[in-house]
Amino acid sequence: MAAEDEAKGPVERLVRWVDSRLGLSHPLLRPVPLYALNPAAWLGALTVVAFAILAVTGILMMLYYVPTPAQAYSSTSYIFNQVAYGRFIETVHLYTAYAMVLLMFAHMMRGFFVSVHKRPREMMWLVGMLMGGITLGFAFTGYLLPWTVISKSATDVAVGMISQLPPPLASLVSFLIVGPGGDAGELLRFYDLHIVVLPAALLVLLVVKMYMLEAHGISEAATRRGRAADKQKTAPIFPDVTLYLLELAAVFGTGMLLLGALFPLNLPPGYTPTTAGQYTAQPDWYFLWLYQILKISAFEGPGLAGIPAAAATGLLGVSLLLSIWFFRKGKWPLGFLGLAAAFAFGVSITILLGVTLLFAMLFLLPFLDVDEQRAIQNRPVFVTTGAIFVAELAVLAYWGLITPGQVIPTWEGAAVVGGTAALVGLGSFVAFRFARTRQSPGASA
């Protein structure tokens, strides 16, 4: 044994020493299948890395920040201009927060497409959805803290959107995040949520999710190439998987640093009611899609969830049933058309009911998509629905960005939402048709 150790290099001996003392490769953590060693499978881990970067930079800023309306902006400005590397820390904090939202969304949608939500990982999906909500909560609460004219105006718009939730929910959320204390109370609540409540909740959920991940292991590969790979081939958690993850984290960190170096932040003016009047308020980019939906003239203001919602629900049901019937009969174009119509009606209902339903559907996905099929090519309905969902979010967000403060006529909203759904549905139909033709070249003959 000693001779064998002697034969290894110094690096290998160091790795063995660290491993033996810390017990890193003790079989507490299961090894990872080799097919899972690709960046797409680690988007969730990168989201956690982003959270860690945010925690470090956030704690550094916390040393100087004062959460009162009178001092929030001046303390932010002090960090920016006087504190060593203050501008760098603020810039990296903001860009990493944006990256965390993007990574969370990419992680969720990748999971949706490759069926990670299926048995036995339903609860992991639910916990992940809660974590996604908390991530958005981080972004929402953190944006107000610098108390700049842009951040305060954007938060006011987003808080205004809460009033369009169903009434009991609107009152509860409004009480929780704004409270009765005016600007001072609002800022303090946002600060408390941002640095105590949300991190604690995220960490608890992270532990729960990691426990379930360890119990069930990484989900099975959804691609043919992945399934073909020998599942018995695994990599140990230390050093292989640990180093792999650290490499990904280092590359991600480099990207954030480079972005921060090339596009450093400039602090906008501080908030006063006068300066606020000179800006067209808009929420930050991750809420633009919601902002745009609520700007559509038919849906402005609360209390619209009445007859139109009931009619849209009925039409959604009929479209979905027709779509399933057409798919079963092999009439794909009509099936996709039904699906696009269902999505358009679904979006209408979602708008009318205050977007609650859309998230309820995503949250309950494991109980809606119960089929055993995992492969993307065998799940046309859900894959198409997911693609339409992503496209709608992107289109609505961009549309919201270029039309700040502008009320959108109902017909225009319906045309864009429905048109996007129809286009993506058609594209998906062509892609699935092409994939089927390639799978069975003799089928059409």
Partner 1 sequence: MKLAYRIVLLVLLVQVTATATLWTLNPTDPASQAVFATLLGIDLLGFAMVSYLYRSDKGKTGFSRPWVLVGCGMFAVLLLAILFLV
Instruction: Report the interface residues with partner 1, using CB under 8 A.
Output: 11-12, 81-88, 91-92, 239-240, 243-244, 246-247, 250-251, 253-254, 257-258, 260-262, 264
In degrees to the nearest 10, what's the CA dihedral of 185, 187, 188, 192?
A: 140
Q: How many CB atoms lie within 10 A of CB 352?
A: 21
The nearer residue to partner 1, 262 or 402, going by C-beta atoms, is 262
**What is the nearest approach in angstroms of partner 1 to the Cβ of residue 256?**
8
Q: Which of 68, 69, 65, 95 is nearest to 78 (CA)?
A: 65
The nearer residue to partner 1, 78 or 332, going by C-beta atoms, is 78
And the tokens for 167? 């009434």
**What is the nearest approach in angstroms of partner 1 to the Cβ of residue 419?**
39
The nearer residue to partner 1, 14 or 360, going by C-beta atoms, is 14
DSSP bridge partners of 148: 270
**What is the nearest approach in angstroms of partner 1 to the Cβ of residue 265?**
10
**What is the nearest approach in angstroms of partner 1 to the Cβ of residue 243?**
5
The residue with tokens 């959460």 is: 67
DSSP bridge partners of 229: none
The nearer residue to partner 1, 12 or 300, going by C-beta atoms, is 12
Asked if the peptide bond before residue 167 counts as cis, ω within 30 degrees of 0, the response is no
**What is the nearest approach in angstroms of partner 1 to the Cβ of residue 209?**
26
Asked if 300 contacts 365 with a C-beta cutoff of 8 angstroms, the reply is: no
The nearer residue to partner 1, 15 or 423, going by C-beta atoms, is 15
**What is the nearest approach in angstroms of partner 1 to the Cβ of residue 255?**
8
Dump the DSSP string for 187-235: HHHHHHIIIIIHHHHHHHHHHHHHHHHHHH-SPPP-SHHHHHS-TT-EE
Q: Where are the alpha helices (DSSP H) in 86-148?
A: 86-113, 122-144
The nearer residue to partner 1, 192 or 247, going by C-beta atoms, is 247
Q: Which amino acid is at 118?
A: K
Containing H/E element for 235? Answer: strand 234-235
